[in-house]
């Protein structure tokens, strides 16, 4: 039965719409044909994007820790060194400062479906996806990025979040892949984490709500997380039960989800 559950979870992930926030009102995606600068920071030696497989991009260019880090998803407008403007939805995973004191945003780009790195001082605007507000004031942009940096850092200090990252990725993906997250779905995620850690703090419970609001794991990360757990039968069984509760929580059940529910 567990093999079937694993197969269905993979199929649901591959066939469902990838979670991604709506574009801010009046905004659009602008991506240049070729992006030099974003590659400079991660040292790809000016290889063409078409020559780099998606798997290699994920697994070799960025470390495992950077891939699994919970991030905050937003929309940015960015001006590169050649004055080319781009705009896109990204999940900021980490903010790094180089030896010259320049901050770089290490992100997953939902438009390119690949990792990118951006200089923080070249961000022209950023969106609060919770409110839809577009922030263009430079000082407020930097404060927003500092807030995101702090948000991302909180997960590294929690043993529970570090240990449970595959389960959290799976459950967040399933909660978001059919649109908006409902309070009942957030409750399922809280239920799972409070089961695995009965001493979960109030701050950690608040982080769960922030994840549900601002975190959008992509399909590749979802499948990668499933594979991390494929040999952990008890854990996968618990997640399957939580996945069932998530599917039932919003009251809308698609055909593939009905097949999944029939296994229980």
- 3-class DSSP string for 119-180: EHHHEEEEEECCCCEEECCHHHHHHHHHHHHHHHHHHHHCHHHHHCHHHHHHHHHHHHCCCC
183 and 218 fall within a common domain: yes
Residue 114: its pLDDT value, please?
A: 81
**8 Å CB contact between 37 and 44:** no
pLDDT in tens, 184-223: 999 999 999 999 999 999 988 998 888 888 889 888 888 8
Residue 16 lies in a domain: no
**In this predicted model, which residue has the larger pLDDT, 2 or 166?**
166
Q: Do 170 and 116 have their domain in common?
A: no
Strand order in the sheet with 85-97: 114-119, 103-109, 85-97, 72-79, 123-128, 133-135
The total number of structural domains in the chain stands at 2
Where does a domain end: 108, 133, 157? Answer: 157
CB 19 within 8 A of CB 71: no
21 within a domain of the structure (yes/no)? no
Does residue 198 share a domain with residue 143? no
Q: Is residue 37 part of a domain?
A: no
79 lies in some domain: yes
**201 within a domain of the structure (yes/no):** yes
Q: Residue 81: pLDDT band by 50, 70, 90 thresholds?
A: confident
Residue 37 above 60 pLDDT? no
Q: Please check whether residue 17 lies inside any domain of the structure.
A: no
Q: Are residues 134 and 193 in the same domain?
A: no
Same domain, 173 and 258: yes
**Top-confidence residue, 102 or 70:** 102
């Amino acid at each position: 039965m567990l093999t079937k559950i694993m197969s269905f979870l993979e199929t649901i992930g591959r066939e469902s719409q990838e979670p991604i926030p709506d574009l801010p009102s009046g905004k659009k995606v602008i991506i240049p044909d070729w992006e030099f600068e974003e590659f400079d920071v991660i040292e790809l030696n000016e290889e063409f994007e078409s020559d780099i497989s998606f798997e290699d991009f994920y697994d070799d260019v960025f470390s495992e820790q950077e891939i699994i880090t919970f991030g905050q998803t937003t929309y940015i407008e960015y001006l590169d060194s050649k004055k080319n403007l781009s705009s896109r939805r990204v999940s900021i995973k980490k903010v790094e400062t180089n030896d010259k004191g320049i901050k770089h945003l290490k992100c997953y780009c939902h438009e390119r479906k690949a990792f990118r790195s951006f200089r923080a001082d070249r961000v022209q605007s950023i969106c609060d996806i919770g409110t839809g507000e577009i922030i263009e004031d430079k000082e407020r942009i930097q404060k927003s990025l500092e807030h995101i940096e702090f948000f991302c850092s909180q997960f590294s200090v929690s043993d529970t979040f570090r240990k449970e990252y595959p389960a959290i990725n799976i459950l967040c993906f399933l909660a978001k892949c059919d649109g908006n997250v409902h309070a009942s779905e957030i409750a399922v995620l809280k239920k799972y984490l409070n089961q695995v850690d009965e001493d979960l703090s109030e701050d950690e419970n608040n982080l769960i709500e922030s994840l549900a609001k601002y975190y959008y794991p992509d399909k590749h990360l979802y499948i990668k997380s499933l594979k991390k757990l494929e040999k952990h039968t008890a854990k996968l069984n618990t997640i399957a039960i939580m996945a069932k509760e998530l599917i039932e929580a919003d009251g809308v059940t698609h055909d593939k989800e009905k097949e999944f529910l029939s296994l229980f």
